[in-house]
Every structure is written in structure tokens, then in C-alpha cells.
Amino acid sequence: MTTTGAPTTGAPTTGAPTDTLDRDKLFAARLQAARARPYLATALFALHTVESRRVPTMGVDRYWRCYVSPAFVARTPVEELAGVWVHEVSHLLRDHHGRSDRVARQRGLTGPGDRLRMNIAADCEINDDVYGDGLVRPKGVVQPSTLGLQPGELMEDYLRRFGLGSITQYLAWLDCGSGADGLDRDWELGPEGAHGLSAREQDAVRFRVAQGINGRPGNVPKGWQRWAEEAFHPPQPWRELLGAAVRSAASGAGAGEDYTYGRPSRRSAGLPGVVLPSLRRTPPRVSVVIDTSGSVSDAELGSALLEVAAISRAVGGRRDLVTVLACDAATRVVHPLCSAEGIPLLGGGGTDLRTGFAKALRTRPRPDVVVVLTDGQTPWPKAQPACRTVVGLFTRERGRRTWREDNPEYTPSGPPAWARVVEIG
């Protein structure tokens, strides 16, 4: 939604003489938008337009209907209308209504101004990267800089950064409809109205658009490429993934709680001559090998290490069963996790994790799980070690090359296939 004309001509209805909707102008703008952004054409054409005098400019609902004010169309040039079309369809493609509902539930945002803030935050997310390259930015749209914020963030992040106040005063009547912030408006047709798209149909349109972008990523801006990659596979928080990987490794056969023939079951009393297994608990031993070479920051290490310690305690590993090894070119410290918060991490040179692996596997009794936290700039052991391996990989920006003084041709290979890899950060 733009705030064109606000606050001077400002009002939603100006009483202008234009009473009928100029459909040709509106659809010429959509055509121009589809030509400027061919990958969004499916989504643009899937919108069902509804003429409405209650919407200030243009707005969408969560059923992919687009409400259009005739007066707004009359006073806005075609090329700006094209930008508004793309803006509105972006709300829907990026699922701003669903995300607003989720964020409202998570953070308990129920105040009267919160949905307006969500609308503004959603607008910021869109407006910082959809215009340009054949599409003009409509006059007066909200931008992150309007609110003194940095561009390039997501709606959820923007939402934390500002409150309603004098700076947002002139946005108070901004209204992109329930498609932008999840709050149903009384001028919308609602779920029972005609020509709405069902959740599945919305998914189908999103999928078509994402496929189009993934198929030809060359001419598509970065923001849309990221959206297309994540549209149907949102990245999971690494904490959960790492937790699941460590827990599953630690509770696999040989560790954790399982049946064993090492002792007869109590049921055996009723079945003389038969050996039944009984339930036994073997707490897992976890060795954590930490890459302390210069390329991993202390903050990254700290958060990942605390995570591993918490997880291994949760699966029943007592503190004395968790050991931590700091490793760069040589493994320096073998430290039991007794003083959980104060593990001295020495190092800072180049990395060779192979020594860390060797040392972890030499400890007696042998660990059930080795967890490696590294940025991957290291040679890996040739053969699979005799226990489960979870690798927490600190992601690095793509394109950053590693370089070695003695061997400029060196490129590190990725983690081996036998390890379970979780990308961190």
C-alpha cells in the first residue's frame, strides 16, 4: 500500500469526480507489471479484482482478492500502479498474513496498533527490494529508512525495531488489507465471498512462481531468489536440528535406553527356561571436538557449545560423560565438562581436525557420539570412525575463498558423507 497523497490530500475517499473504476488503466498497469516481472505473472493474474470505495488505495485479503479504489486509480500514473500491483502481490506470495498471525501468537501482540505495525513492517520488507529495474517506486511508500532502519531484513525483524509514534503518525491510515497483516476488515468479502483462493490454490500459485524463479534465477533479484528457495522448505532453526541429530545419535543402539540380553527380564520368572531381554540404561558418552582455529568466532563457538552441553545433559549424559576437546593444528586440551561455563578454548592457528578425532576416539571408555563444531576449513579423516558423528558446520558466505600460504591451490572438501551435518547460523 502506498500512502500517495497523504497526508495532504490524505483521506481514503477524496470525493473526487472519478466514480467509475478505470479498468483499462488498472489492467494496463498489471500488464506492465507482468512484463517487468515475468516470474510474478502467474500470481498477478491469479488476483481477483474487486472495486471498493472503502479501501484507501489498493489492498488484498487473505483469499487473494485485490480491492481497488477507483479514485486512487484515477489519480495515479500507470507506472506507479504497476508498482502497487507488485507490492500487493508480494504481500500474498510472502504469506504476510500467515506470518503476522504466527508472530502475534508468539509474541502476544494483541494491542490495537500491533496489526498496523505488522502492516508497516511487511511493507518495509517488500519496499526495500522490489522496485527499480523497470518498476517505479510509488510515491510515499514506507521504507525502512523512513523509520530509521537498515534495509534487507524480514518483517519479523523490522517489527521489533519500531513502535508507533510521531514518525509513523502519517501512516496511521495505511491499509493493505488482511492479506498484509492478517486482521480481517469489514469491507472484505471474507471466506464465504466469491472468487477466493483456497489454501491449496494459494500454495499452487506460490509453487508455480517459485519454480519459475528457481528455473531461471539469472534475471531475478536476490530477495526473490531467497524467497523461492525457502518458499516450500523454510530453513529450520539450527538449534532444533542439532538437538535432533545429537539426541538421535546419543540414543542409538548401544547407548541410551534399550533392551538387552545382558540381564534376564523380570518376566522370565513366569517362563522358566526362556531368556527374555530386560530394559537397561546406558547413558551416552559424548565427545565434543571444537575447531578453535582463527576462522571461528568466539560468539559462534560459545552458543554452539552451550547447545551441545544442554542437549547431551537432556538425553541423560551426566556431566562427567561429556568431554570437550579444543582443536586447531594440534589438540590442546581435554577437558571434562565439570565447569560447564568456563571451558578454556586455546588455539587460533590453522586447523587439522584429524588430530581431534584421533584424540576423541583414544579416550577410554570410548565415546558413543562425537560432535564436531567447525567451519569446515579442515581436512577430514579418511575412514569413518567407530562411533556416530554429528558435524555442526558454521556457515560461511558463499564465494569466500580460503587461502593457504603454503598451498594456494588448496580448497577444503566438505564434511564426509558418513557424518550428519547441521548448518549452524
Partner 1 sequence: MPTTAKSSQLAVADALTALLRDTATEPRPDIQLEALALAVAADLPVLLWGEPGIGKTAALTQLAASLDLPLTTVIASVHEPSDFSGLPVVGDDPAEHGIPMAPPDWAVRLVRAGRGLLFLDELSTAPPAVQAALLRLVLERRIGSLRLPPGVRIVAAANPRSSAADGWELSPPLANRFVHLQWAHDHEVVVRGLGGIWPRTTLPRLDPDRLPEAVEFARRAVCGLLAARPTLVHRLPTTETRRGGAWPSPRSWDMTLNLVAFSVAAGSSRDVLSLLVRGTVGDGPGLELLASLDRMDLPDPEELLADPAGAVLPERGDLRQATLDGVVAAVRARPDQERWDAAWALLVRALETGAPDLVVVPATTLAALRREDWDVPAAVEHLAGVVSLSRRADRASERVVRAEAKAGR
CA pair distance 422, 425, nearest whole angstrom: 10
- CB of residue 144 to partner 1, shortest distance in Å: 20
User: Is residue 200 within the footprint of partner 1 (CB under 8 A)?
Assistant: yes
Considering only residues 281-320, where is the footprint of partner 1 by CB under 8 A? Answer: 314-315
Smaller CB separation from partner 1, 12 or 258: 258
Asked if residues 392 and 290 have their Cβ atoms less than 8 Å apart, the reply is: no
* Minimum distance of partner 1 from residue 369's CB (angstroms): 11
Q: Residue 234: helix, strand or coil by DSSP?
A: coil
Q: With contacts defined by CB under 8 A, how many residues of the chain interact with partner 1?
A: 77
> Judged by CB under 8 A, which of 212, 256, 347, 356 binds partner 1?
256
Residues sharing a CB contact under 8 Å with residue 382, sequence separation 6 or more, in sequence order? none
Judged by CB under 8 A, the chain residues 30 through 69 that form the site for partner 1 are 30-32, 34-36, 41-49
Q: What is the dihedral of CA 254, 257, 260, 266, to 10 degrees?
A: 170
Rg (CA), the chain: 29
Instruction: Of 255, 243, 82, 99, give the one whose Cα is nearest residue 181.
Output: 99
SS3 153: coil
Stretch that binds partner 1, among 121-129, 259-267, 331-339, 374-382 (CB under 8 A): 259-267
How many C-beta atoms surround the C-beta of residue 84 within 10 A? 26
Q: Identify the CA nearest to 144 among candidates 117, 172, 113, 121.
A: 121
As a whole number of angstroms, the distance between CA 324 and CA 371 comes to: 9
Residue 111 C-beta: closest distance to partner 1, Å: 20
Q: Which of 11, 19, 23, 107 binds partner 1 (CB under 8 A)?
A: 23
Q: Which of 113, 160, 259, 302 binds partner 1 (CB under 8 A)?
A: 259
Closest CB 232 distance from partner 1, rounded Å: 5
Residues in contact with 381: Cβ distance below 8 Å, sequence separation at least 6, in sequence order: 353, 354, 357, 358, 416
The CB-of-259 to partner 1 minimum distance in angstroms stands at 4
Q: Is 276 in the site for partner 1 (CB under 8 A)?
A: yes
240 forms part of the interface with partner 1 (CB under 8 A): yes
Q: How far apart (Å, rounded) are the C-alpha atoms in residues 162 and 120?
A: 10
For partner 1, give the closer residue by CB, 42 or 90: 42
Q: Is 87 in the site for partner 1 (CB under 8 A)?
A: no
Is 321 or 345 the residue whose CB approaches partner 1 more closely?
Answer: 321
Q: Does 24 bind partner 1 (CB under 8 A)?
A: yes
Distance CA 350, CA 406 (A): 12
**1, 55, 86, 205: residue in contact with partner 1 (rule CB under 8 A):** 205
**Touching partner 1, residues 177-196 (CB under 8 A):** 195
Give the nearer residue to partner 1 in terms of CB position, either 103 or 246.
246
